[in-house]
Amino acid sequence: MSMDELLNPFESTGRFILKTVDELGSLTIYLWESVFSIFRYSINFGNLIDQMVFIGMDSFYVIGLTGLFTGMVLSLQAYYVTKIVGVTYMIGPMVALSMTRELGPVLTALMITARCGSSMASEIGTMKVTEQIDALEVMAVDPYYYLSVPRILAATIMLPVMTILCSLIGITGGYIVYAYFLGLNHIVYIEKIYQYIKVGDIYSGLLKAVFFGIILATISTFKGFATTGGSKGVGRFTTQAVVLSSVYILFADYIFTSIFFK
């Protein structure tokens, strides 16, 4: 940041807003072009399956561990609060609702951004700076169709699946702490979850996951295609992809939650 920007916060804020709006515009056009190209050509199932495996199967352990520890810590924290007012039977619903509505989708999306978004951006970015994208174009293969569509589709399909997994393992982690570490009645944990959790809680989480998938894959592939400046550029744009995806996911999460609460 230059001295001028420090001295003139309005100007730099204005510039930041303009840049953000401009970028949002380009992202929307890019997403539109990518989605549109699905209808222009047929879907390349080979590429789609590869990406689904990469986002799904290969992320199993990361997502599993994330869910497990989050559920366990939620259970402990919930105990700390509920025991004050003597309602420890509410630990189950607290863990389950937090996981399905909020933490499952958000943490899954953030972990997949770190793991797969970064590699989408760096893979496409490397292809860009080594002219492999140009080579695709020259061979009359639409690079958006060939590279973006399978990634965006795969993320859109796999994010809800991985979110279910994350939430389930999280609830199980909470159960382990509840039943074994805290020594509370494990039947109560499950009973109360059934009593308090509604189908809508699960759906709202999965709907979020769908959108987070679109967001992270769109931004990450977009940043890949935007890469310039050799290997240093690949690093820079990959970082941008991860940071921007994460911020947009958290922002979108707030928007969704505020809509669902109404």
Partner 1 sequence: MIILERLTKSFNGIKVLNNLNIKFGEQKITVVIGRSGGGKSVMLKHIIGLMRPDSGRVLINGIDINTLKRKELNEIRKKFGMVFQDGALFDSINIFENIAFPVRQHTKLRESEVKDRVYSMLGDVGLSGQELKMPAEISGGMRKRVGVARALILNPEIVLFDEPTTGLDPITSDAISNLIIAMHNKFKFTGILISHDIAGAYKMGNIIAMLYNGFIIETGCPEDIKASNNPVVNQFVAGSMNGPIDFNMV
Q: Are 242 and 114 in contact (CB under 8 A)?
A: yes
- Min separation Cβ 12 and partner 1, Å: 24
Nearer to partner 1, 85 or 139 (CB): 139
- Min separation Cβ 123 and partner 1, Å: 8
**Contacts for 30 with CB less than 8 Å, ≥ 6 apart:** 144, 148, 218, 222, 225
Q: 131 phi and psi, to 5 degrees? A: 65, 15
- Min separation Cβ 37 and partner 1, Å: 9
Nearer to partner 1, 112 or 147 (CB): 147
Nearer to partner 1, 14 or 230 (CB): 230
- Min separation Cβ 49 and partner 1, Å: 16
**Rounded CA gap, 30 and 151, in Å?**
14
- Min separation Cβ 109 and partner 1, Å: 26
* Single-letter residue type at 149: V
Q: What share of the chain is helix, strand, coil (3-state, %, to 5)?
A: 90, 0, 10
Binding site for partner 1 (CB under 8 A): 40, 123, 126-127, 130-132, 134-135, 137-142
Beta-carbon count within 10 A of 229 CB: 12
Nearer to partner 1, 133 or 171 (CB): 133
Nearer to partner 1, 69 or 146 (CB): 146
- Min separation Cβ 217 and partner 1, Å: 18
**Rounded CA gap, 119 and 211, in Å?**
19
**Rounded CA gap, 145 and 41, in Å?**
8
Beta-carbon count within 10 A of 50 CB: 14
- Min separation Cβ 146 and partner 1, Å: 8
Nearer to partner 1, 138 or 199 (CB): 138
Nearer to partner 1, 36 or 194 (CB): 36
What burial class does residue 139 get, using C-beta atoms within 10 Å of its C-beta: 0-12 exposed, 13-18 middle, 19+ buried?
exposed
Q: Are 239 and 219 in contact (CB under 8 A)?
A: no
